[in-house]
Amino acid sequence: MGQLRASNKDVVHEDENDDGNIVVINTCGFIGKAKEESINTILHYVDKKEAGMVDKVFVTGCLSERYKPDLEKEISDVDQYFGTHDLPNLLKALEADYKHELLGERVTTTPRHYAYLKIAEGCDRPCSFCAIPLMRGGHISTPIEDIVKEAGHLAKNGVKELILIAQDLTYYGLDLYKKRALADLLKALVKVEGIEWIRLHYAFPTGFPLDVLEVMKKEPKVCNYLDIPLQHINTELLKSMRRGTSAEKTIELIGKFRASVPDMAIRTTFIVGYPGETEESFEELKEFVKATQFERMGCFAYSHEENTHAYHLEDDVPEEVKNKRVAELMEIQGQISFDLNQEKVGDVFRCIFDRKEGNFFIGRTEFDSPDVDNNVIVDASKFYIQIGQFIDIKITEATDFDLYGEPAKAMIQ
């Protein structure tokens, strides 16, 4: 979007009226549900094109990288498909120039005060179930100085919170600096003026750089928050998933997190219904979730993806059993989250406010990432809060996934 604007093109993200003469669809091809959503979106705009409401439809992103020949055959009304490394060609088709010097200058699609910041692309891991390396290639870390430059541009445009993402944060730096450099990157980013929160998403458990915990503990700008997908706890399944870890090592790692940064919110995700997951191994997972009390947890039903290593295994857990296990695990987590949230009632948290929804202001604590974690909800008929501002909120009530509160120092409207 930054590149298009620099070529004087009028560009908007997800225009709610669906108007615009050229539509570019950025697709996901990770698992069944994501592919379905991408295809439905393509079909929606192809219909619009047929009805004369849209002139051209271009498709880019992971689905297009993974299935280009099939898509060209099956949905031929799309004007052109592009892969994940095709940005200059896509721009050419849009009659815009690719300008390398614009690197790091972006048009964000999130509220003004936070932005996702990608620190590496691709993945070198061999996880058996995962199609991402097929679509995004091997791991390439962005140099620290380029990331700091991009963070500086974002901060100048009003961004206060950076959400660091990559397929694998743990590996950051190994390709480029021959050492894990996430801690160095954090030390550089905390110096960027205007940035107040830095949040870490998608770390890999094996080889996690423990020096990051020191930085997290010392630097108030680094949120005490870590998203680390664990996928399972049963050692046999972890081995089959090719995750390079075991139940014992995983438990040891979580223990280190808790010991180093006691109030850290840990977010994780699990896959249930992976080939060979028995009732016993699922029980083991349930017990682990209960014992660990993750602050946040997500759970996915295994999706059997062609050209992955696990595709050679038999997808032997029936769909209804997978879905039942997802529901069961989420119910356990619902109770954990409810109990942890109750403990917060009466406490004061520094929060940032993302939006106003109806009669409520919606914000978050440092322990909550946008869209996936708790909301902090404040009654807008009683209090006024400026969007994008930090403010201390006293929690007055809590449910399983929401906290209700009011400004600690009353700002009555």
Which C-beta is closer to ligand SF4: that of 125 or that of 267? 125
29 in contact with ligand SF4 (CB under 6 A): no
- Collapsing DSSP to helix, strand or coil, 215 comes out as helix
127 vs 198 by CB, closer to ligand SF4: 127
Which member of 59, 91, 120, 127 binds ligand SF4 (CB under 6 A)? 127
Burial level of 313, CB count in 10 A (0-12/13-18/19+)? middle
Place of tokens 């892969």: 83
Give the residue with the Cβ less far from ligand SF4, 114 or 204.
Answer: 204
167 is an interface residue for ligand SF4 by CB under 6 A: yes
CB of 123 to ligand SF4, least distance (A): 3
How far apart are the C-alpha atoms of 377 and 341, rounded to whole Å? 13
- Answer for which of 133, 152, 173, 209 binds ligand SF4 (CB under 6 A) is 133
Stretch in the footprint of ligand SF4 (CB under 6 A) among 51-59, 126-134, 220-228, 402-410 = 126-134
Count residues near ligand SF4 (CB under 6 A).
9
**Residue 364 interacting with ligand SF4 (CB under 6 A):** no
Residue 155 tokens read as: 């901060």
In angstroms, give the least distance from the CB of 218 to ligand SF4.
Answer: 28
Report the residue number, 135 or 403, with the smaller CB distance to ligand SF4.
135
DSSP 21-74: SEEEEEE--SSHHHHHHHHHHHHHHHHHHHTTS-SEEEEEEHHHHHHHHHHHHH
Measured from the CB atom, is 132 or 395 closer to ligand SF4? 132
Whole-angstrom CA distances from 240 to 164, 276, 310 are: 29, 9, 8
Q: Which of the residues 378 through 407 are near ligand SF4 (CB under 6 A)?
A: none
Q: Which residues, 6 or more positions from 192, have their beta carbon under 8 angstroms from its beta carbon? A: 148, 151, 152, 155
Helix, strand, coil share (%) of the chain residues, nearest 5: 35, 20, 40
168 interacts with ligand SF4 by CB under 6 A: yes
Which of 204, 225, 282, 353 touches ligand SF4 by CB under 6 A?
A: 204
- Between residues 139 and 199, which has the closer beta carbon with respect to ligand SF4? 139
The answer for 267, left when phi > 0, alpha when psi is -120 to 50, beta otherwise, is beta
DSSP secondary structure of 135-156: HH-S-EEPPHHHHHHHHHHHHH
The least distance separating ligand SF4 from the CB of residue 137, rounded to whole angstroms, comes to: 11
- 132: its two tokens: 């991402």
In the complex, which residues of this chain contact ligand SF4 (CB under 6 A)? 123, 125, 127, 130, 132-133, 167-168, 204
